[in-house]
Structure 1
Amino acid sequence: MAAKANTKSIPSVWARPQAAPSQPALSRAVIVREAIAMLDEEGIEALSMRKLGARLNAGATSLYRHVALKDELMELAVDEVLAEIVRSPADGPDWRAAVTQLAVTFRATALRHPWMCAVLGQAGLAYMGPNLTAISERLGALFAAAGFPEPHGAIDVVYSYVIGVATTESAWLTTVVRSGQTEAEFIAHLARASQPAGEPEGAEAVNPGSFRDEKFAYGLEVVLDGLALRLTR
């Protein structure tokens, strides 16, 4: 465990070089991929270096050669899933369409990995890994080309909206999964529980996934409308 203690002064995993593989099948990339699979399946609470080591048939000490702390592992896992956004289709000349595309892809990625926004919400964007940096640079280039006087301010606005909404949605969907019901069934159950006795049941609910998509799109349009006003001043 000495390796763990010696790295406490390192502020971020990005500031420390990778260790040489301790066994042929074990590397930082392998560890991160397995951690993401575990996070997707079981959530943040279930992840520990001991359990992860067991899934990889390796001791926790072997993992610490490549990832000094669990916090480092979470940084790496978040940045790895953000690669899904970096690989999204290229941006076009219309800044609103391009930002919308990136925001929609960001939200979709967050909902595929419900733990991601919880980590970002706790740690913020203090540690800029390569993929998060690439996303921010893409947004900055879009806003600068459009003529925004404060591209970084516009980036913060978009991040705040997308991460905020995705955090709430991820928490909601995690609760739905734990209920063992579909989202529509869970909503119907809540509606019945809150309905006064004797009152007739309400109209059939809309598709919950479509409703969340439309709600996100509406809010994003409002955010972009507000940003667009900056160009007219």
Structure 2
Amino acid sequence: MPRDTLTRDQIVRTAVELLDEEGLEGLNMRSLGKRLGAAATAVYWHVKNKDNLVLLAGDHVWDEIPLSELDPADWHGAATAMADGLHAMLVRHPWLVQAFGSYLFYGPGKARYDDHSLAVFEAAGFSGADADRAAAAVFTYVLGNALGASANASLTRRLGRDGGDARQQIEETLAKATEVAMRFPRLRSRLDTPAADYNAAPDDAYRQGLQALLRGLVPTPARADG
């Protein structure tokens, strides 16, 4: 595909597909150009470099998150919907969780989400500073819960690139971890539960934790002057 028929949107969407499949380490201009049917040099006419492309791709996926209705009477529901949308997006694109450690993301996609998150809490009666803290607390909680899926995806790719059977290596490591866990009573009691899987958590841990967090967020009544 000649450079004059490429568009930045095409490039960014294809970059997201490549990132979903290969992770941050698998994204390069040559692989991207091959998927687009264009020379790598053609891509550079639309994006500066790989870092710029990651930023564009990272901002693009935020538009996948639907914005909840602003409902002061049910702000827990609105905040939950926003958190769930963010969690689902991060699980679909596990490379983005990793990228937060190396990139400062910004752009209209992320700004759209951040602005509406603040609106949810402001509609519930949170002041400016309290709304900032509440939105940041929920974001950090969701990001932490998406880390397991991101780590699984990254580890599986790395083990596969090393030429081995990723699943077999994980199972062998889990067997060794089980031997260690047998020495500790609380871990030993959970070895036959889903929580014993790699990077796993008890069923509904995400939802229960989110609801506990939201219950702990209470608007501070505005103080009258004087």
Bin of the TM-score, shorter chain as denominator length: 0.7 to 0.9
| Equivalent-residue separation in structure 2 for 1:220 and 1:232 (angstroms) | 26
Unaligned runs of 5+ in 1: 1-20
Aligned match of 1:194 in 152, 174, 177?
177
| Equivalent-residue separation in structure 1 for 2:31 and 2:191 (angstroms) | 46
* Aligned-residue offset at 1:142: 0.9
Aligned match of 1:222 in 203, 212, 217?
212
Instruction: Name the amino acid aligned to 2:175.
Output: R
Deviations 1:74-98 (A, max 9, x none): 111111111111x355454411111
| CA 1:147–1:102: 2 relative to 1, 3 Å | same
Q: Match for residue 76 of structure 2?
A: 96
| Equivalent-residue separation in structure 2 for 1:201 and 1:146 (angstroms) | 42
What root-mean-square deviation, in Å, do the aligned CA atoms of Structure 1 and Structure 2 show?
3.2
* Aligned-residue offset at 1:130: 1.0
| CA 1:175–1:231: 2 relative to 1, 3 Å | farther
Instruction: Name the amino acid aligned to 1:123.
Output: Y
Aligned residues: 205
* Aligned-residue offset at 1:203: 6.0
Deviations 1:50-83 (A, max 9, x none): 2211221212221111111211111111111111
| Equivalent-residue separation in structure 2 for 1:89 and 1:78 (angstroms) | 21
| Equivalent-residue separation in structure 2 for 1:105 and 1:171 (angstroms) | 20
| Equivalent-residue separation in structure 1 for 2:139 and 2:213 (angstroms) | 11
Q: Match for residue 3 of structure 2?
A: 22
Q: Match for residue 146 of structure 1?
A: 124
TM-score, length basis structure 2:
0.76
| Equivalent-residue separation in structure 2 for 1:202 and 1:139 (angstroms) | 37
Instruction: Name the amino acid aligned to 2:100.
Output: L
Unaligned runs of 5+ in 2: 160-164, 183-187
Q: Is the 8 A contact 2:18 2:27 kept in 1?
A: yes
| CA 1:107–1:213: 2 relative to 1, 3 Å | farther
TM-score, length basis structure 1:
0.74
Q: Match for residue 134 of structure 1?
A: 112
Q: Does residue 205 in structure 1 map to residue 222 in structure 2?
A: no
Q: Greater CA deviation, 136-145 or 92-101?
A: 92-101
| CA 1:164–1:121: 2 relative to 1, 3 Å | farther
Q: Is the 8 A contact 2:71 2:120 kept in 1?
A: no
Query: What aligned pairs does 1:22-171 form with structure 2 within 5 A after superposition?
Result: 22-24=3-5, 26-85=6-65, 87=66, 90-93=69-72, 94-125=74-105, 127=106, 129-149=107-127, 150=129, 151-171=131-151
**Equivalent position SS for 1:123:** coil
